[in-house]
Structure 1
Amino acid sequence: MEDLITTITDFIQTQQFLNVIRAILIVVGGFIIARVISSFLVRATKSTLDPHRLMILKRGSYYGILALFLTAALIQLGFDLGILLGTAGILTVALAFASQTSMSNFISGLFLIAENPFQVGDLLQIGTTVGEVLEIDLLSVKLRKFDNTFVRLPNELLIKSEFWTLTKFPIRRLDLQIGVAYKEDIGRVRDILVEVADKNPLSLEEPRPLFIFQGFGDSAIEIQFSVWVLKDNYLPLKNSIQEEIKQAFDSAGIEIPFPHRTLYAGSMTDPLPVQVVASEFQSV
């Protein structure tokens, strides 16, 4: 027991012990300073940067400063800086080969941040997936769909695929596909649709509604009627204006035909004559 106490006492009095204490103090101080500086940078740039850029700035500054203090602590313990850098380089190459997908997502994330095609809170559509952007990381983008389910999209997928930012601009155009019977007066149909749009408080006066004659369908005249709306009112307008169009058409007697098809199989013919012939042979 006395030998153990003597060994500990001798170690405490050595320079190596002092170096360990200094290294611990450097690491603790690094955590504190990194947190303070990263928080200060976020507060200083909060009014000029969007949320996901603020998040990247905070994490980048925090881990960057912390890495410097950890390096200083290792040097204090007697590690050679050249050896540390060489080891870090070898580990970086090894990790790059071992996690090519992650590195590809990381690089794609840097491109997305630089290009800034969408922000947190935007509605994003890729393929059949539509959702609100919750978070933009260096590896993936997180979405919340309208049914409150969570979707994670790798950044590499976004770089390689076509996607739509539905709320990039303040206003959106709502396109309605409408079919009316061939007997209806197209000018009258146009006037009714424009009147419905003008009466709806969510529909913008400018730009004006757009009436496009799409063509002659199998059972209806096909029309596209487009109205402009603030992006936050898109779904409420889509729901209300279609109901108002149906009511207006019913009141005006405008027919919305259902799909139908008539088939002709040729002219009417007489049935084939059938004659029963008695057998000349009788069974024995």
Structure 2
Amino acid sequence: MTEQFLQWLQTEHISQMLKAAILLLVGFVVASLASRAVNRFFSKNFSQHHIVLFRKLVYWLLLALFVASALKQLGFSLSVLLGAAGVLSVALGFASQTSASNLISGLFLIGEQPFKLGDTIKVGNTTGEVLSIDLLSVKLRTFDNLFVRIPNETLIKSEVTNLTRFPIRRFDLLLGVAYKEQISEVRSVLLDVADKNPLCLDEPSPMFLFLGFGDSALNIQFSVWGKRENFRDLRNSLHEEVKLAFDTAGIDIPFPQRTVHLAPQYVQSKAQSAAPLQKDDNHAL
């Protein structure tokens, strides 16, 4: 038995096994080094969540290449394995078309980076903070503390608004004043309100726009800029301060009004129909 074992060691099998083992060992080392290199090179341009995904992807792709080389060294036919993998991938593709679409969309989102963790985005009627960006979906937390999962395919096909991408935001206040008011006076009051509000930025400066003549009011847009983190406080305080300033200056914010004109024939017919009723009432009295 010892002689047979020595003969087997002298055959090509042991050398093939050693080569395969060396390939696997080198594969583990190369995959580990490559994943660490990804962490160093992409740390400035990508978030930590994306870096982890890239590291795993690079690690397993390189390791799979070395495993395939080791199997070939042991005598396995890669064409058979590739054929089986192709058949399996086709079957999985038909079975999970939606998942594959979300996976590809997730790679596009990671590469494009329209938003990152912690950003506040709006997708359709849903607005919330980004909790995670995965290969299949994006998780949001809405302002009323609801958890929302949005598939990546939906994000690719929809309009996505990033509300916190830039450091400052503009708030547009739409209002109407009575026709009797002087537009110059209204402009002066609004600019004074913005000047006294500490949350309004001086640069870019506030903007006053006269939009036109409405049904019941002169339509005006007053736009101010504020820091991203102060946007909600700016919006709430500006509404209150404009209302107080208008009350102090005697500027009216009218409610919708309608003027009804009656035709003379209609008024005459109504008067004639009411006359017999009055006569009957007097007779009854």
TM-score scaled to structure 2, two decimals? 0.76
Which has the higher mean CA deviation after the structures are superposed, 260-269 or 217-226? 260-269
| Equivalent residue, structure 2, for 1:273 | 276
Which has the higher mean CA deviation after the structures are superposed, 195-204 or 260-269? 260-269
| Equivalent residue, structure 2, for 1:157 | 154
CA distance 1:63–1:226, shift in 2 (3 Å): same
> Which of these residues, 127, 132, 135, is aligned with residue 132 of structure 2?
135
Matches within 5 A, 1:29-68: 30=28, 38=35, 41-43=38-40, 45-68=42-65
Q: CA deviation at 1:169?
A: 2.3
Q: CA deviation at 1:193?
A: 0.8
Report the aligned-residue RMSD. 3.3
| Counterpart Cα distance in 2 of 1:159 and 1:48 | 21
2:230 matched to 1:230? no
| Counterpart Cα distance in 1 of 2:94 and 2:275 | 80
Q: CA deviation at 1:36?
A: 7.4
1:161 alignment partner AA: S
1:96 alignment partner AA: G
2:121 matched to 1:124? yes
CA displacement 1:150-182 (0-9 Å, x = unmatched): 212222222222222222322211111111111
Count of residue pairs the alignment pairs up: 259
| Counterpart Cα distance in 2 of 1:63 and 1:192 | 65
Give the secondary structure class of the aligned counterpart of 1:101: helix
Matches within 5 A, 1:17-96: 30=28, 38=35, 41-43=38-40, 45-68=42-65, 71=68, 79-96=76-93
| Counterpart Cα distance in 1 of 2:60 and 2:236 | 48
| Equivalent residue, structure 1, for 2:4 | none
The structure with the greater share of residues assigned to helix is: 2
1:86 alignment partner AA: G
CA displacement 1:186-217 (0-9 Å, x = unmatched): 11111111111122122111111111111222
Q: CA deviation at 1:69?
A: 6.0
Give the secondary structure class of the aligned counterpart of 2:139: strand
| Counterpart Cα distance in 2 of 1:51 and 1:221 | 51
1:119 alignment partner AA: K
| Equivalent residue, structure 1, for 2:192 | 195
Which has the higher mean CA deviation after the structures are superposed, 106-115 or 266-275? 266-275
TM-score scaled to structure 1, two decimals? 0.76
CA distance 1:118–1:215, shift in 2 (3 Å): same
CA distance 1:73–1:260, shift in 2 (3 Å): farther
| Equivalent residue, structure 2, for 1:249 | 246
Q: CA deviation at 1:245?
A: 1.1
| Equivalent residue, structure 1, for 2:167 | 170
CA distance 1:148–1:75, shift in 2 (3 Å): farther
1:273 alignment partner AA: P
1:200 alignment partner AA: N
